[in-house]
Structures are given as C-alpha cells and as structure tokens.
Amino acid sequence: MPAAFDEIKVGQVVSLGTAMVDPTALDAFLVAFAPGWNAEQGAPDAFTFAVWTRLDAAATAQWPQTKRLGIDALRWGRNPPAGELLRGRMTVMGKDPVGDDKGVVIAQHDLLDEAGRLVFSCLTRSVFRR
C-alpha cells in the first residue's frame, strides 16, 4: 500500500493476505457463538466476517489509515468449509481529499475461496493521512 493518501490510485487492488478456515477455531466459534449451526454447512457468516476483520487489521496495521468510518453493503456468497484457504483483497473505488492533512478512501473488500469464488464482500470508508 502507498505511504500516503495522495499516492493511492482509484482502481488499485491490494492484497489483504490469506487465512485458512481453521477447523479448531471454527469448532470453538460454533460452541461459543452459534450452538445451533452444523459445521457441515461451512463457516457461518459471523465467522467469515471475523476472518475478514483479522486479515484487514493485519494488512492495515502499517498503512497510513487513521480511522475506519464505516463498513457497508455486507454480502455473503457462500459458507466456506473448514480447511479452506481464503484470500482477501481490497479495491479502491474512490477517494476524496478532506483538507490538507487527510482524505477518505472508499474501497471494496472481497474474500475469495480457493476457486476464486466470492465468499464475502463489503464496502468501507476510511480516513488516510495525506
């Protein structure tokens, strides 16, 4: 990711990394948060959201992003099975400077399965340093 807002390009695609749907973590999640869910159905939506959140947090830790303003338009395409590797990506959809020292970036985030199918997506608005 670029070092500042002004270096970010609309249309730019950034990898958020990969994460496996860990069977042990999924089982623990089901016991704690989704006791009626059958693991044979794949990971529930909330678990998938948590996987994306983890990838996003790790990827953005070194970015000039200072605040997440919103997460909208959440969509789930499928429930990935335990053991499946998920790949995260972010596509910059738009950006708007806000004063001399910051700007807002609108981005689409996707989680894709091993076959490249959409598992989860959302839109974010975030503040970046200029």
Reading phi first (left if > 0) and then psi (alpha if -120 to 50, else beta), residue 83 is in left
Closest CA to 52 of 109, 125, 127: 109
Q: What is the share, in percent, of the chain residues with pLDDT greater than 70?
A: 99
Tokens of residue 19, six digits = 């994460």
Examine the pLDDT at 82 and tell me if it is beyond 80: yes
Confidence tier at 26 by pLDDT (50, 70, 90): very high
Model pTM score: 0.93
For range 79-102, the mean pLDDT: 97
pLDDT at 27 over 80: yes
Give the pLDDT score at 1.
Answer: 73
Mean pLDDT of the region 5-33: 96
**What is the band of 100 on the pLDDT scale with cuts at 50, 70, 90?**
very high
pLDDT score at 4: 87
37-64 pLDDT, tens digit each = 999 999 999 999 999 999 999 999 989 9
Tallying the residues shown for the chain, one arrives at 130
The pLDDT assigned to 113 comes to 97
For the domain with range 5-129, which CATH number is right: 3.10.129.10, 3.40.50.1110, 3.30.365.10, 3.30.310.10?
3.10.129.10
Mean pLDDT value of segment 66-84: 97
| β pairing state of 65-76 and 118-129 | antiparallel
Domain ranges of the chain: 5-129
**Maximum CA extent, the chain:** 52
Residues 6+ apart with CB under 8 A from 8: 1, 2, 92, 95, 105, 128
Q: Mutual orientation of helices 45-60 and 23-33 as an angle, nearest 10°?
A: 120
pLDDT at position 111: 98
